[in-house]
Each structure stands twice: as C-alpha cells, then as structure tokens.
C-alpha cells in the first residue's frame, strides 16, 4: 500500500481561445444531449513519464500545454463556454461569449508515480486529487445560471512524470467527441500548432428529431428536477461511499480474447447459434457475471425468493453514420443511443449465467439494426428507475474504440490512463491496450474484499477456455 501523499496547487490559470478567434455563439442542445443533464461528471487521467524536476517542467512544458490548449479551444469552443440554465420554459443551451475560458490548474504531488500507473489494486482515493473540481456555477444578470463544462489539472510528480486530469460535463460531449478534443490538443502541442485531427463539426447536422424526443426529454427533466433550484444545478455527488473502494485494471491480450471467443462458440454452439458474439459481447458478459458472483451476498440469495431481483447492464451505441443517421464522424456533441439489458439474478449466477448474459447483450445490439431510437422516450425515466430500484447495475463508461493510448503530446508515450469515476453508480470502463494491438483493458473499482473475489472468479473463467 502506497504512503499517503500531499498535493499542492502551484497556480491556476484561465485558458481561453485566442482573442477574436471565436465569435459569441449560442449552441442548442439536441435530443441526444438532454438525457445527460443529470449525469455525474466524467473524469479521465492521462499519465506520462517525464523524469525532470518541477522547475524544469514549469519552465518548458507548462507554457506549451497552455498555448496549445488555447489554440485547440478555438476549434472546440463549446468546452470554453457555459451550459446556461434559463428560467422555465426557456430551454438550456451552450453559450460562448468573449472572455469565457477553461480553468487550468498546475499542481505538484508527492505520490508514487509507479504506484499510480500500476494495474494492480490501489485506493480510489489515490487518484481523486489528480482530477480538479468543476468551477462553481454563477448567476447571470438575466437570472440564468451559467455552469462551466470542463476543468483541467496538470499534476507534476517530480523527477518521475506527470498527469493530465480532466473533468467534464457529459451534456457537452460524448466520449468520442471528448477524445477528439484531447487528441487535437495533443497534436497541436506535439507539432507546434498544426491540427492533425479533423475539424470538429458543431452544427446539429443529420440530427432529425422525428420522434419528438426533445420535447419529451425536456418535460421529463422539468418533472424529475426542481428546475429553478440552484441546489439542483450545483449538486455534486457524494463520493464518500466509495472511499473504501480499490481501483484495478484487468488486462486481456488478443490471444486470450481469441481463445475465449473460440471456447464460447465451441462449448455453447447451440445456445448461441443466433447470438452476436463480438469481442464487446464476450468481455462485457464475462465482466457482468464475474461482478455478480464476486459479491458475497450472491451466495445468500441462491435458492430463495430474492433470486428474481433484476440486474441491469447498460451501455451506449454511437449513432454517427449508423442506424439510419447521417451524422459525420467528427460531429462534436452527444450522439449515443442508450441500451438497457436486464436479467434476473438467478439467470446470471447459474450454470449458464455467462451464456445468458451473452444472449441478452448480443440481442440488444442486434435490435439496434431496427432503429437506435426504439423506446428512446423512456431513456431518462428508465435510467432513474433503474438506479433507484435495481438490485445490481453495471454501466459501461468508456470504449476501446477511442484509441486512447494514441494520445501523443510529444512528451513521450502515454504510460497509463484511468477513468476515475469508475465504480461510481456501477460504472466500469473499457479501453484499448497500451501493450498490444487488439488487447483490452477493463477498469473496475470495488470494495477490496469483492475485488479479491472478482480476481479469483475471473481467472477461473479464463482457465476454462
């Protein structure tokens, strides 16, 4: 166990797009954005090896990071803007005006770089100080409420490395759009000002609200929250309940994934004859079952009336240029369909639990071909009800298709990335592998005893193949 570390804030800056590069702009929310209004903030860490002292880093690296971020924000101005909550019945929107900026914090930590970038279990509390808080909302002259959408913290771990911690509001962008921003920042930093990534598209092109979802979601948002309440708009999640969690990275190599898929196809050929058995389905099913079986309480539920308690697996599907949408890949915003999968507890922890999970997740993916917006009017209400009533919930909070380990600031290869909100409300993360093409990294955060159980059960499943 690593020793407790101290963190000291060295400076706070306001980084804005270059003067005059972005005109005042109001950007409407689409129906894809509205379901994310009540979401917890997203938190991502990037670790880089950099064996230099603090004063060297501040003199040589910080100016470059700040300048390149400024140049990047002229292309990705919504993140320098604010989410505006006007009085009802006016509609929330993103507004950029001259002077808007991103809070950029520089800090120094005594934490152990090797420990922080390890795959083994470590306290969730070790990672949290490396990610900033979102700045507080403020009142505008017209009575509206302005909510910042992103904050960035660079933490120096002297003579070892540094981290870039980002917190952002999902209503502004989904994972693909967020990593478009980060990779663009990295390319401008690496090349000295040249944007190698495609220009983001902010216009709501290709998003036709044929189902009237904007009005439905807006009415549900008004009903589910006290719209006028500053407490609601400023509400921050209580993270104390996760203080005893440990965070670990489970790695699956390409050969392991291949063998696992072959074993499943051979062992359960008849049961899975019509099932979509992609890498995503196989890994998600395995993680779902292992998470449930790792809970000591599962043992007490077997054989009694509580076995019919519902367990949910929730993931999202990118709709860019898919499922009937003509939305370009470089579209900046949210473009995700919600997918809710449910099974009874006894179906998942039984002998064929893994197979049942695969059939359920695979069927949900196949349903997307008939329309990604089928049942979309219930997305917000379903999410609320599930979090309140379900026995067990797993939410996939990131994708291996983001290619996160290709994020190159010109300061060395990315050593490790962490999704810090993993564990909160049942979130897990998936990422590409830093070690080999085709590998997968799974991020988990659990109570220590459950993490130990999970590792044992997970290894047992891998040994079956």
Judge if 7-237 and 242-464 fold alike in CATH terms: yes
**Beta-strand relationship, 150-157 and 102-109:** parallel
What's the pLDDT at 94? 97
Task: For residues 168 and 166, give the distance between their C-alpha atoms in angstroms, rounded to a whole number.
Answer: 7
Residue 155: both structure tokens together? 């933490």
CA quadruple 382, 384, 390, 392: dihedral positive or negative?
Answer: positive
Give catalytic residue positions.
170, 408
Q: Is 120 helix (H, G, I), strand (E, B) or coil?
A: coil
Neighbours of 89 (CB within 10 A): 9
Domain 7-237 CATH superfamily: Chloramphenicol acetyltransferase-like domain (3.30.559.10)
What's the pLDDT at 300? 47
Is 301 a residue whose pLDDT tops 50?
A: no
Residue 77: both structure tokens together? 């101005």
How are strands ordered across the β-sheet holding 150-157?
A: 7-15, 102-109, 150-157, 161-168, 42-49, 414-419
Is 223 a residue whose pLDDT tops 90?
A: no
Tell me what percent of the residues of the chain surpass a pLDDT of 70.
93
Q: Is 14 helix (H, G, I), strand (E, B) or coil?
A: strand
Neighbours of 292 (CB within 10 A): 23
The mean pLDDT of the chain is 91
What's the pLDDT at 407? 97
pLDDT digits (tens, 9 = 90+) for 411-436: 999 999 999 999 988 999 999 999 99
Residue 327: both structure tokens together? 């939305």
pLDDT (mean) for 443-455: 95
Give the model's confidence band at 307: pLDDT under 50 very low, under 70 low, under 90 confident, else very high: low
Closest CA to 344 of 286, 298, 408, 409: 298
> 235 or 129, which is more confident?
129
Task: For residues 403 and 401, give the distance between their C-alpha atoms in angstroms, rounded to a whole number.
Answer: 5
Domain 242-464 CATH superfamily: Chloramphenicol acetyltransferase-like domain (3.30.559.10)
pLDDT (mean) for 451-465: 89
Task: For residues 216 and 228, give the distance between their C-alpha atoms in angstroms, rounded to a whole number.
Answer: 19
pLDDT digits (tens, 9 = 90+) for 124-145: 999 999 999 999 999 999 999 9
Residue 311: both structure tokens together? 């367990």
Give the model's confidence band at 238: pLDDT under 50 very low, under 70 low, under 90 confident, else very high: low
**Domain layout of the chain by residue ranges:** 7-237, 242-464
DSSP assignment of 219-250 equals HHHHHHS-TT-HHHHH-----GGGTTEEEEEE
Is the peptide bond preceding residue 25 cis, with omega within 30 degrees of 0? no
Is 70 a residue whose pLDDT tops 50?
A: yes
Give the model's confidence band at 302: pLDDT under 50 very low, under 70 low, under 90 confident, else very high: very low
């Amino acid at each position: 166990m690593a020793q407790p570390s101290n963190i000291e804030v060295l400076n706070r800056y306001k980084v804005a797009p270059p003067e005059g590069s972005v005109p005042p702009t109001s950007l409407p929310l689409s129906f894809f954005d509205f379901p994310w209004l009540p979401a917890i903030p997203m938190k991502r860490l990037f670790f880089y090896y950099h064996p230099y002292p603090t004063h060297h880093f501040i003199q040589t690296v910080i100016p470059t990071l700040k300048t390149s971020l400024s140049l990047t924000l002229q292309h990705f101005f919504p993140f320098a803007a604010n989410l505006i909550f006007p009085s009802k019945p006016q509609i929330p929107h993103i507004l950029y005006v001259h002077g808007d900026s991103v809070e950029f914090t520089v800090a120094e930590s005594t934490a152990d770089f090797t420990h922080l970038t390890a795959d083994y279990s470590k306290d969730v509390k070790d990672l949290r100080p490396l990610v900033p808080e979102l700045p507080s909302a403020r009142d505008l002259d017209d009575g509206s409420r302005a909510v910042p959408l992103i904050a960035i913290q660079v933490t120096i771990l002297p003579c070892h490395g540094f981290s870039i911690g980002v917190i952002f509001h999902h209503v502004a962008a989904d994972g693909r759009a967020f990593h478009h921003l980060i990779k663009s920042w990295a390319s401008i930093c690496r090349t000295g000002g040249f944007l190698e990534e495609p220009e983001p598209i902010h216009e709501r092109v290709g998003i036709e609200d044929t189902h009237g979802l904007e009005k439905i979601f807006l009415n549900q948002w008004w009903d589910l929250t006290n719209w006028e309440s500053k407490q609601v708009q400023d509400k921050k999640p209580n993270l104390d309940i996760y203080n005893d969690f440990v965070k670990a990275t489970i790695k699956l190599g390409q050969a392991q994934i291949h063998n696992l898929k072959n074993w499943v196809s051979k062992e359960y050929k008849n049961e899975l004859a019509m099932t979509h058995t992609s890498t995503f389905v196989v890994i998600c099913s395995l993680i779902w079952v292992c998470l449930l079986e790792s809970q000591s309480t599962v043992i007490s539920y077997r054989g009694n009336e509580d076995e019919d308690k519902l367990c949910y697996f929730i993931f999202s599907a990118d709709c860019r240029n898919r499922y009937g949408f003509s939305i370009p890949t470089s579209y900046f915003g949210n473009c995700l369909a919600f997918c809710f999968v449910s099974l009874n507890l006894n179906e998942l922890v039984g002998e064929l639990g893994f197979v049942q999970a695969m059939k359920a997740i695979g069927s949900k993916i196949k349903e997307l071909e008939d329309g990604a917006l089928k049942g979309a009017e219930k997305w917000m209400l379903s999410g609320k009800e599930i979090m309140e009533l379900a026995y067990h919930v797993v939410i996939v909070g990131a994708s291996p298709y983001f290619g996160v380990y290709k994020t190159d600031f010109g300061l060395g290869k990315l050593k490790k990335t962490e999704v810090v909100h993993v564990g909160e409300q049942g979130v897990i993360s998936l990422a590409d592998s830093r070690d080999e093409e085709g590998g997968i990294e799974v991020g988990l955060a659990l109570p220590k005893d459950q993490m130990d159980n999970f590792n044992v059960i997970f290894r047992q499943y891998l040994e079956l193949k």
